[in-house]
Chains A and B, each alone.
Chain A
Amino acid sequence: MLNLIVALAEEARPVIHHYRLKRLHHLHAFPVYGSDDIRLIVSGMGNLAAATATGYLAGIGGVTKSSAWLNIGVAGSSSIAVGEIVLAHKVTNVIREQHFYPTLCFEVACKTAAIETVAVPQVDYVEGVVYDMEAAGFFSAAMRFSTTEMIHCLKIISDNNVGDVDNISAAGVVSLVEQRMDVIADVVGKLLEMINELAADNQGEQEMDFIRSRFYLTVSQQTQLNTLMQNWFALTDVSPLALLNIDTLKTSKALLHALQVKLDELPVKY
């Protein structure tokens, strides 16, 4: 599952439209939209809101170790042109002096930048720094559920020292995000590829379910079965159920033993 955390409805709208996400009306704490493999939450502004919304998405289920997290929003910078989009290579919580480093393990069609998350909108920008209000809270929370390769922040520059931060209109924000949907879609695509790569390792789920339905397994036996099943599918694509005469096995102990014997008989070939 790819989880998108977006502060404002205006920032979310082009993304919701692009991925045809549907509002999940049974969820009330935050507006949440979803499809089969993407969810989007509108968190509201600020670190705390972003962290809470991230935790909320994790809490409603569907999150595994292979889930990915992406914070999309607008930000300010004096040295990057309005309309440019950047991927964070460092996120700093300015108040807590905490640094987070997203791991850049895919190529993107945009620059990367250091993002400083501040509590109130900035008017005096330091050269080279991108300012936002959510990235650090988001990142800190998402790290509880996934690794840093799967957690990223994309920021579209909406203001700099030239313009006035108060003059950014809702329609302007929608337009900025719309114009950068190509890069957003590229990053979303890369994250979905990584999710699929990690999920592909989970072979044997059907067999495990079948065995659990037929045998009572203690916790320790379940662990043993997990290991045996993992080892089995590392050696062959043929289901162990096709090779075991399961009806003759009366106990879970007999099943595990038979599985181990068959496993040891499998050919090892490079």
Chain B
Amino acid sequence: MFSAIYVEEPLLSHPRVETIVARYGHLPLIPIERYGEIFNRKAQNFRLQKQAPALIIASKQNNLVLPAPEQYGLGGKHNYYFSHLLNCIYDCRYCFLQGMYRSAHYVWFANYDDFAQAIHDKIEQHANESCYFYSGYDCDSLALEPVTQFVDYFLPVFSRHANAVLELRTKSTQIRSLLDRTPMDNCVIAFSFTPENISQQLEHKVPSNRKRLDAMIKLQKKGWRVGLRFDPLIYDDSYYASYEGLFNDIFSQVDIDQLHSVSLGVFRLPETFYRNMQRLYPAEQLFAAKIANRDGMVSYQADIESKLVDDCESLLLKYIPKSIYYPCSME
């Protein structure tokens, strides 16, 4: 799973870290001063690193909880995100992390108590209002759960704050730790999907749609609130049939009345990220077809984009009420 383990020296004696280091005792263990010595340095190739990433265990010092990007919210007034992990075990060709970071190594911030305190402080700021916390912005919330035990630590934190909603965004089927607990009203597990033919081409190392859907149904049956994320929408010549099939498949199996939210957003990237990603994968169709740059954001050509979004939105609203639908715009 990892090619090496780098650990910030003060964390070597941390109980959570000791367990992981012992589990991966066969790998090179490399003490470092700060994770920035390894992560995101110059002269690194994300694509090559992605073939065998290392685990960097670090402590996050500042900006533990940040305002979420505008288009990331689900209608709430106060939206924040926090990242216990940078980078993802999956290899989705459209993922902005490839364009944002030079390194594909996973950085795991093990100082959970500091995150919990920062989350608590934000919740206190909005004592009588609801606020949303997103954990799947810089990583998949659940995919590395056997290592990070993120759910085991953070769900009890949120169980003490009914006005704070935690979104776990994932493509993973690592749901055992959730199935073992009592469902919480203020936790949403949001699963991302693209049509199977697109997923097979662009979502490398990701569980199949079938497995993801099974995981989602299991959680829903157990009483967990689940959401659906069709973001990014990907264009191909037969997108209409592909998305029609995907929506039909999903909505014929999940309990629509119990869905928390559904969001949809077209493939879009800041220009610099797009350029970095195209440089990494020059032979990738995704970066070559029907692409246009508008004011520093790269997406599909305007006519393609609006048709793709309108069509998918219409298809989607055949199945779900508008009250749980959250479009992600480029603005």
The answer, yes or no, to whether A23 is at the interface (CB within 8 Å) is no
Q: Of A72-80, A229-237, A248-256, which binds chain B? A: A229-237
Interface residue from B43, B45, B49, B282 paired with A234 (Cβ < 8 Å): B282
A149 touches B283 (CB 8 A): no
Q: Is A143 an interface residue (CB 8 A)?
A: yes
The one of A99, A233, A266 in contact with B37, judged by C-beta atoms closer than 8 angstroms, is: A99
Q: How big is chain B's contact interface, by range?
A: 35 or more
Could you tell me if A114 and B30 are in contact, using CB atoms closer than 8 angstroms? yes
Roughly how many angstroms separate A88 CA and B45 CA in the complex, as a whole number? 18
Q: Which of A104, A148, A200 interacts with B3 by CB under 8 Å?
A: A104
Q: Which of B110-118, B129-137, B155-163, B287-295 contacts A (4 or more CB under 8 A)?
A: B287-295
Determine if B48 and A149 form an interchain contact, defined as CB atoms under 8 angstroms apart: yes
Q: Is A29 an interface residue (CB 8 A)?
A: no
Q: Chain B contacts of A89 at CB under 8 A?
A: 4, 28, 30
Q: From known contacts A114-B30, A234-B288, infer whether A270 and B48 are also in contact, taking CB-CB under 8 Å.
A: no
Which A-chain residue is minimally distant from B2 (CB atoms)?
Answer: A104
Note all chain B residues with C-beta closer than 8 A to A198.
Answer: 48
A149 touches B237 (CB 8 A): no
Distance in Å from the Cβ of A235 to the closest Cβ of chain B?
Answer: 6
Least CB separation from B48: chain A residue: A149
> Which residue among B51, B197, B200 has the maximum number of chain A CB atoms within 10 Å of its CB?
B51
The DSSP consensus for interface residues of chain B is loop
The answer to whether A270 and B288 touch across the interface, beta carbons within 8 angstroms, is: no
For B237, the chain A residues whose CB sits under 8 A away are 267-269
| CA–CA, A97 and B38, complex, Å | 16
CB distance from A25 to the nearest CB of B (A): 33
Interface size on A, residues (CB 8 A): 34
Q: Say yes or no: A101 contacts B238, CB within 8 Å.
A: no
| Alpha-carbon gap, A235 to B283, bound state (A) | 8
The reply on B259 being an interface residue by CB < 8 A is no
B288 near A105: Cβ-Cβ < 8 Å: no
**Of the residues B51, B278, B283, contact of A233 by C-beta under 8 Å:** B283
Q: B44–A147 contact, CB under 8 A?
A: yes
- Are B38 and A101 closer than 8 Å at their CB atoms? yes
Say whether, besides A147-B43, A267-B237, A203 and B48 are in contact (CB < 8 Å): no
- Do A268 and B49 have beta carbons less than 8 Å apart? no
Q: Determine if B54 is an interface residue (Cβ-Cβ < 8 Å).
A: yes
Residues of A within 8 A of B285 (CB): 234-235, 268, 270
Q: Are B288 and A235 in contact (CB under 8 A)?
A: yes
Q: Given A201-B282, A235-B289 in contact, is the A270-B43 Cβ separation under 8 Å? A: no
Would you give the shortest CB distance from A148 to chain B, in whole angstroms?
Answer: 5
Q: How far is the CA of A90 from the CA of B5 in the complex (A)?
A: 12
- Which B residues between 199 and 243 are near A, CB-CB below 8 angstroms? 200-202, 234-238
Of residues 191 to 246 in A, which have CB atoms within 8 Å of B's CB atoms?
A: 194, 198, 200-201, 203, 230-235
CB distance from A21 to the nearest CB of B (A): 26
Quick check: is B271 within 8 A (CB to CB) of the other chain? Answer: no
- Distance to closest chain A CB from B83 (angstroms): 22
Q: Which of A106-146 contact B (CB under 8 A)?
A: 106-107, 112, 114, 143, 146
A107-B3, A234-B287 given; 19 more Cβ-contact pairs under 8 Å: A89-B4, A89-B28, A103-B44, A103-B49, A104-B4, A104-B52, A105-B48, A112-B4, A143-B43, A147-B43, A147-B45, A231-B288, A232-B288, A234-B285, A235-B285, A235-B288, A270-B197, A270-B198, A270-B234
22 examples of A-B residue contacts, CB within 8 angstroms = A90-B30, A101-B6, A101-B30, A101-B41, A103-B44, A105-B48, A112-B4, A146-B43, A149-B48, A230-B282, A230-B288, A232-B288, A233-B283, A234-B287, A266-B289, A268-B237, A268-B289, A269-B236, A269-B238, A270-B200, A270-B202, A270-B236
Return the 8 tightest CB-CB contacts between A and B, nearest first: A231-B288, A234-B288, A149-B48, A147-B45, A105-B52, A268-B289, A112-B28, A270-B201
